[in-house]
Amino acid sequence: LLGPRYISPAPNGGFVVSEECRDVKVFTSSRKLLCSLSSKYGHRFGNPAGVCVDVDGSILVADEQRRTVHLFPERGSPVCLVSAGLRRPAGVACSSFGHLFVADAGENCVKVFK
């Protein structure tokens, strides 16, 4: 890993790690690299920060530089969930009730999206 930043557990005992100014990588429970999100989806990150995995196994990534939050489904194309209203999204978390929590370090607050 080059500059690991944030980490989140993933389904089946694996985990997801963001790398500063680079990529987001997914590992298996045996700590083997499963995939790189930029390679798998052809997505260019600015500065990936917080990561989490929702109840469907999709990976959510906050991008500090691009001021966005993207969802990366197991199958299909990435979806931009939040593209406005964030100054410096750092951490992300999702609830089983469909809420997305974003720690916005640029505004010193937590924003909640449904």
How many CA within 13 A on the CB side of residue 90? 9
pTM over 0.85? The answer is yes
- Tell me which CATH code domain 4-113 carries: 2.120.10.30
Bridge partner residues of 52 (DSSP): 60
Please name the helix (run of DSSP H) or strand (run of DSSP E) that holds residue 46, with its range, or none: none
In tens digits, the chain (114 residues) has pLDDT values of: 999 999 999 988 999 999 998 999 999 999 999 999 999 999 999 999 999 999 999 999 999 999 999 999 999 999 999 999 999 999 999 998 999 999 999 999 999 999
**3-class state of residue 11 by DSSP:** helix
Sequence ranges of the domains in the chain = 4-113
